[in-house]
Amino acid sequence: MLVLNDVARQYNNKAAVSAVSLTVDRGSFVGVIGRSGAGKSTLLRMINRLVDPTAGTIAFDDIDVTRLSGKALRDWRARCAMIFQQFNLVGRLDVLTNVLMGRLNKVSTPRALLRLWSEEDRAIALSALEQFDIAGLAAQRADSLSGGQQQRVAIARALVQEPDVILADEPIASLDPRNTKVVMDALLRINKHYGITVMCNLHSLELARGYCDRLIGMSAGRVVFDGAPELLTDDVARGLYGLEADDVIETAPVAKPELSPGDAVAVAL
Amino acid sequence: MSVNAPEIAPSAGRLRAAALADLGGLRDRHGVHFRPSMRRRILAIGIPLVLIALAIFAMVVLNFSLVRILNGLHRLGQFAILMMPPEPQGRFVAFSIALGETLGIAFLGTLVAAVLAFPVAFLAAKNVIPNIFAHFAVRRAFDVIRSVDTLIWALMWINVVGLGPFAGVLAIACSDFGSFGKLFSEAIEATDGKAVEGVTASGGSKLHQVRFGLLPQVLPVIASQVLYFFESNTRSATIIGIVGAGGVGAYLTELIRVLELQQVAFLILMILVTVAIIDFISSKLRLAIIGKAKIV
């Protein structure tokens, strides 16, 4: 069980996340939604400790994540894998090595530096790649793959960490609709088949409603909605997304503005 | 391997268990990834071995001898004692003027080299001049100029324009023209083509593409290279002084020859301080330039 208590993060006196308290049950699939800059990324990064909270505590079972350092911190990071919007693979290395990097925490440093992976580690990595239908690409350089393939490699890397939690930060924001489905299905499979907790930042409400058991809506660094997807009405969503709401809520038909040449157009960014 | 608490088991154990259960199948399907590649192993062991052998061979040929270093060590000690304490012995002003001259040589030489190399480097960049022959010719020209060291250039220019700082400036300008040409053109080639494509798509001419697509990307790199060269040329400029191309080097050779080692020590300290100051200023400048480039 992941418990966040009054967690906050400030950047130069500007609050990115303020006073967030959450309890995430083991095995749940949680979607974190909200507009850009709402603090979703910072929240996820604080759980992995890529970003340190300026206040509050994060705990997993009986581990106080906020106090960890050194080896204990690296162990915790291995237990809560991250998936990034830009995949964060090492482009110049082959796919298999990229996946095997997920096992670094479990291999002795000299062996890892010399890339002497054990048979077991190779088997685990290839098995993970097979699950996402990309085992055939194992020998290719990661930067020669398409975006969707790269994200699947990143998910395989996360999976071979044998984590308890997977934190996915906008995993599909750079992908086309078909790959979006492939990647979200992969996350769902990890969640259901392995019972790994997934926390996923999403921009699209439709996807969040389709895949998640629970949604957390953030606005200006605070949690403003927390509940089952059914409870997130269009009105709540409108409050979450403000001006963007009509772009995000697919059910509401987007009215095409009727303009004639010369009209002033206000563009919401 | 971690021994997981029972409640963690469903997530952690399953993947490994499945992979190990299917080990035979995985080996069949992906044998390549299990067999250690012979070629890679040979390279991994062979290349370091060859390098070590080469190094030992070179040491033998060049008469490396620890004994000779140890035997000569006391001479070094004598030198150090004779240098103490560093003292200008009344020539501080003369030294300062010479050091100023050295700085001037480095500054002018670097500036001339950079100004001349800047336009020519574009001709040597594949992404600006697609014509293979054109940039091949320019590149080889850079190579030829670069392969002659500053010191040799100094000896040549002394014969052309006579002894003095002017020959020094020309020497640095020449040898660095070659280096700058290579570095600048490589910086230009390493740029991101997307920016240029954006300018092209807006109807920009070739000149517009270079001005707005390339220049903003390469200027910070070029500026930092020029600053580094100025710094290193301050040191080179003392060397070319030794062959009579002006600056502080003339004093250095002279003083070492007559064993005025206290003055030598003082002069070296002056050079040290000057280089440190330049290093400090140029690293500030470099950071300022690079920092700004990130925002743009």
Is A111 in CB contact (< 8 Å) with chain B? no
Of A50, A33, A18, nearest to A231 (Cα)?
A: A33
Q: Using CB atoms, which residue from B2, B7, B20 is nearest to A123?
A: B20
Alpha carbon of B2: minimum distance to chain A alpha carbons (Å): 8
Domain CATH code at residue B103 = 1.10.3720.10
Tell me, yes or no, whether B262 and B131 share the same domain.
yes
Cβ-defined contact of B8 to A96 (cutoff 8 Å): no
Mean pLDDT of A25-50: 91
CB contact under 8 A, A123 and B10: no
With respect to residue A256, please indicate whether it lies within any of the assigned structural domains.
Answer: no
Does some domain include residue A263? no
ipTM above 0.85, yes or no: no
Q: B interface mutation test: which of A26, A103, A114, A124 has the most B CBs within 10 A?
A: A124
Q: How far is A67 from chain B (nearest CA, A)?
A: 21
Identify the DSSP state of A195: -
In this structure, the answer to whether residues B91 and B58 fall within a common structural domain is no
A134/B contact by beta carbon, under 8 A:
no
Return the CATH number at A51: 3.40.50.300
Q: Is residue B8 part of a domain?
A: yes
Whether residue B80 is contained in a domain is answered as no
Task: Print the domain residue range for A45.
Answer: 2-248
Question: Residue B91 falls within a domain, yes or no?
Answer: yes
Residues B172 and B34 in one domain: no
Could you tell me if B171 and B40 lie in one domain? Answer: no
Within a domain: residue A218? yes
Q: Is A197 part of any domain? A: yes
Asked if A122 reaches chain B (Cβ–Cβ under 8 Å), the answer is yes
- Measure A118 CA to nearest chain B CA, in Å: 9
Indicate whether B120 and B240 sit together in one domain: yes
Cβ contact B26–A106 (<8 Å): no
Residue B12 shares a structural domain with residue B100: no
The DSSP 8-state label assigned to residue B86 in this structure reads P
Give the predicted TM-score (pTM) of the model.
Answer: 0.72
**Best mutation target, B4, B15, B37, to test chain A (most A CBs within 10 A):** B15
Instruction: Determine the pLDDT at residue A250.
Output: 54
For residues B5 and B96, state if they share a domain: no
Range of the domain at B49: 1-64
- Report DSSP state, residue A7: E
Number of domains in chain A: 1
Q: How many domains does chain B have?
A: 2
Is residue B185 a part of any domain in this protein?
yes
Residues B17 and B146 in one domain: no
Query: Which of A122, A130, A195 is opposite residue B10, by nearest beta carbon?
Result: A195
- Whether B34 and A120 lie within 8 Å, measured CB to CB: no
Give B31's contacts in chain A (Cβ within 8 Å).
Answer: none
**pLDDT, one tens digit for every residue, chain B (296 residues):** 444 443 444 555 788 888 888 888 888 888 888 876 778 788 888 999 999 999 999 988 888 888 888 888 888 888 788 778 877 777 788 888 888 888 888 899 999 999 999 988 888 888 888 888 888 888 888 888 888 888 888 888 888 888 888 888 898 899 899 999 999 999 988 888 888 888 888 888 888 888 888 888 888 888 888 988 988 888 877 778 777 777 788 888 888 888 888 888 888 888 889 888 888 888 888 788 776 544 33
Residues B126 and B232 in one domain: yes
A254 inside domain = no
Cβ atoms A204, A229 nearer than 8 A: no
| Token output for B189 | 């080639």
Question: Does residue B75 belong to any structural domain of this protein?
Answer: no
The b-or-e profile of B242-271 (16+ CB within 10 A means b, else e) is bbbbbbbbbbbeebeeeebbbbbbbbeebb
The pLDDT of residue A243 is 60
